[in-house]
Structure 1
Amino acid sequence: MSLFMLLLADDPTEFADLSPAELQAVIARYSAWSEDMAAQGRLRGGHKLCDEGGKILRREGDALVVRDGPYAEVREIVSGYFLIEAADYADAEAIARTCPHAASRGSITIREIESMENP
C-alpha cells in the first residue's frame, strides 16, 4: 500500500449562507466518512484548514518573501486534506469518489506521497 494525500479545495464563501444545523450536517458527513475510512484501515490523518488562506513563501532573487495567500483573484483555497492508504492511483481515486467533498462544487487533488526511506 502507498500513501496518498487528498487535497480538498473549495470556495469558502460557498458555506457562508448555511444555517448552523446545515453546517453541522456537513461536518457530520465528513466525520462519518473519516470514521469509516479509519475502520477500514485506510485513513492515516486529515484536518480542515483555516479559511483565511495562510501565507505563501517564495524565493524572489536572493530573498525569501512571505505574502498573504491566496490572492483575491483566486476563488478556491485548499481547505483541508486527508492522508489515505491505497494500492495505486486507481484505488485512491475510488476512495476519493466516496469522500463527501466529491459531492461539493470544490475539487479533490490526489497526490501520491513518495517514500523517503532507504530501501
Structure 2
Amino acid sequence: MKEFLYLIRGGQEKYEKNSPDEMQKHMEHWQEWMGGLAQAGQLVGGQPLMTEGKTLSEGGAKIIDRPLAEGKELVGGYLLIKADSLDHASEIAKGCPSFEYGCTVEVREISPM
C-alpha cells in the first residue's frame, strides 16, 4: 500500500458556530470514521492544527505571522492514510466528517524517498 496525505481546509467558521452538543456529535463522527480507518489498517496518523502559524519565504529572511492561506482556506488538520492508489485514497476521503461544514480535502500521494 502507498501512503497519502489529506490536507483538510476550511469549515472552521461554520463549526465554531455550533452548540456544545453539535460539536460533541461532530467529534464522535470523527472518532467513528478514524476508528474505522484504524481497524482497516489504513490510518497512519493525523491531528487538527492550531490556527496560529508562521510562513517563511526568501530563504527564511521573510517571516509572516500567519499561515499562508487566509480564512476559509486555512489548513485545519491533516491525516496520513494507506491506500492502493490515488483513486482509492480519494474514495476513502469522501467519508471525511468535515464535509458537513464545507471543508475541502486535498489528497496527495507521499513520494517515496
| TM-score, length-scaled by structure 1 | 0.85
* 2:58 maps to 1:59: yes
* 2:51 maps to 1:20: no
CA contact (8 A) 2:6 2:107 kept: yes
Runs of 4 or more, structure 1, over 6 Å off, are none
Percent same amino acid among aligned pairs? Answer: 34
Q: 3-state SS of the aligned residue for 1:37? A: helix
Structure that is richer in helix per residue: 2
**Structure 2 CA distance for aligned equivalents of residues 104 and 78 of structure 1:** 14
Deviations 1:58-112 (A, max 9, x none): 116xx52111223685432000011000111110011001221233311000010
The CA RMSD measured in Å over matched residues stands at 1.8
Please say which structure displays the higher CA radius of gyration.
1
CA distance 1:113–1:21, change in 2 (3 Å): same
Ranges in structure 2 where 5+ consecutive residues have no aligned partner: none
Q: 3-state SS of the aligned residue for 2:41? A: coil
* 2:3 maps to 1:3: yes
Structure that is richer in strand per residue: 1
**Structure 2 CA distance for aligned equivalents of residues 86 and 25 of structure 1:** 27
CA contact (8 A) 2:12 2:101 kept: no
- Please name the residue that 1:35 is paired with: 35
- Matched to 2:55, the amino acid is I
Q: 3-state SS of the aligned residue for 2:105? A: strand
Number of residue pairs matched by the alignment: 113
